[in-house]
Structure 1
Amino acid sequence: SNVILIMTSNLPGDPIDFFRPEFINRLDDIVRFRPLAQSDLTHIVDIQLAHLQQRLADRRITLTVSDAAKQRLSEQGYDPQFGARPLKRLIQREIGDRLAVALLDGTVTENSTVVVDLVDDEYAITA
């Protein structure tokens, strides 16, 4: 039968320098990943925010995030060791959790438009 095997590694260089030619020859392809660029991070921020916007749209709440806030999210949500993995937690903590509190205390209601901006280097949420 056919088998697809995916292997990952954190080799510091070319796999040919670490593995015997017999092993390398058995691999169909080697995919090398490059570090994330700022444009990649901006795109990932947009994707993560779209998930939150969709959840809010189910409650008829519109979420708008300023470019400054998106830029700050992309900076704070990136870690050289872990890439953009911390971004989802950052968006949840800085925006999602605050919106949940605003929903519970009635500051944000259905048919609201919520704006997230950067004010004095802090995320500001207004409804």
Structure 2
Amino acid sequence: NSNENVKYIVDREKIAKVVSVWSKIPLEKLTEQESEKLLRLEEALHERVIGQKEAVMAVAKAVRRARVGLKDPNRPIGTFIFCGPTGVGKTELSNALAETMFGDKKNLIRIDMSEYMEKHSVSRLIGAPPGYIGHDDGGQLTEAVRRNPYSVILLDEIEKAHQDVFNILLQIM
């Protein structure tokens, strides 16, 4: 049988790729290409986001600082509030960061916070508390992060969210 003579060569890259797909950990994080990515992060963001030098520098600096271990590992890598009129690059910076750091714009979790204007909408975002119906289902944010933990989270129009929703988010950030 000719199949008996077939040999498969499995190298580090192939193993890393399979582990990356299964675990949803970006391939670069497994293959040590992340340091190169961090070194050119600012440049990569500037290619996509024009005229926002301070915002790009702040984001790049925070990401580099977090990745070298100078932050609490149980907290987000960075929390930023981008303010300004439509069309200045707030969403594009989030898209560019997701693509640059995690290789795909699918790693951007966008939540329209204008859907969370009511007090009770907290449970829709983070899930119902223990003992309540739907507790095991999780919320829109918690489930999205559980499914794809290596992501950029964009809370669009956060100023429209109810104060209780905002307070919960502040605890996470």
TM-score by length of 2: 0.24
Whose strand fraction is larger, Structure 1's or Structure 2's?
1
Q: Which has the higher contact order (CA 8 A, sep 6+)?
A: 1
TM-score by length of 1: 0.29
